[in-house]
Homo-oligomer: A and B are copies of this chain.
Amino acid sequence: MIATVIGLGLIGGSFALALKDKGLAERVIGVDNDPNHAAKALELGLVDEVLPLEAATEAADLIAIAIPVSAIPITAIKVLNHVRHQIVMDMGSTKEELCEVIAQHAKRNRFVATHPMWGTEYSGPEAAVKGAFSGRSVVICEREASDPEAVSMVEDIYHTLGMPIIYMEPEEHDLHAAYVSHISQVTSYALALTVLEKEREDETIFALAGGGFESTVRLAKSSGEMWIPILLKNKYNVLDVLREHIHQLQIMRRMIERDDAEGLRSAIGRANSIRRIIH
């Protein structure tokens, strides 16, 4: 198989590496708007050659789109316009608008909408890592809108990468993603800003930063170029979760203010039940 990967950053670069590493593609063609990224991806061996979008689409059996979510719908349409037998998939973090935009395209059946639940706080071709994705879930949306043969090919790839597959409708996906991914990003950015704000008064404020801080603030290193489109495309879900999260913080604040150890015990007892979910 010949694969084309559009967007050679963290996700696309890691996917290109995985396709070759697992023997899924003999050749991987890269496409990237940024010539520096394209050159870097070639230099790092993430892809075998770099071509313009149209040529890369025509030369491939599978085209994977791994660019910021704000650019996915239009790019998906452009790619589908050139498609004959090929299969097209995307790897973006929001699904509702994409599925709506491609719904009536004559080649909709050649498209598989996916979201592999993997990432790191780094970006660009240098962030691509071998062994990415393994053990993480992947969501496929609107499976019934894609040709069974197209879905099978994409499922086989994700199986080979060691990813359990979950099927969801786009609306359901975007809601879930807001709760278990997008909100973590917002709180992490806000926490970094809180402490950096204090640092302007007291430059030694980080002297004690340890493992707990690092864990909650790590995501604040993530690129705005990737995350701003996600937060804005998934705006209503993100705002809902953010409202609830601020409410929970205000409840804890009031309990601390009032020395309400009993209330804190009950709230923390409930929070502890997250142990069921993450081990």
Whole-angstrom CA separation of A175 from B202 in the bound complex: 10
Q: In the complex, which residues of chain B have a beta carbon less than 8 angstroms from the beta carbon of A207?
A: 137, 166, 168, 176
Q: In the complex, how many residues of chain A place their beta carbon closer than 8 angstroms to a beta carbon of chain B? A: 89
Whole-angstrom CA separation of A251 from B243 in the bound complex: 12
CB distance from A60 to the nearest CB of B (A): 28
Decide if A196 touches B245 in the complex (CB within 8 Å): no
Decide if B193 touches A179 in the complex (CB within 8 Å): no
Determine chain A's interface SS by DSSP, over half rule. Answer: helix
- Copies of this chain held together in the complex: 2
Nearest B-chain residue to A224, judged by Cβ? B268
Decide if A228 touches B273 in the complex (CB within 8 Å): no
Kindly identify, within residues 174 to 195 of chain A, every residue whose CB is under 8 Å from any CB belonging to chain B.
Answer: 175-177, 179-181, 183-195
Of A118, A196, A250, chain B has the most CB atoms within 10 Å of the CB of A196
Decide if B224 touches A204 in the complex (CB within 8 Å): no
Decide if A194 touches B244 in the complex (CB within 8 Å): yes
Q: Is A197 an interface residue (CB 8 A)?
A: yes
25 interchain pairs, CB-CB under 8 A: A117-B208, A120-B211, A137-B210, A176-B204, A177-B208, A180-B210, A180-B213, A181-B213, A183-B191, A191-B245, A193-B267, A194-B241, A196-B271, A209-B278, A212-B219, A217-B278, A221-B274, A221-B278, A224-B272, A227-B268, A228-B261, A228-B268, A231-B256, A232-B264, A242-B253
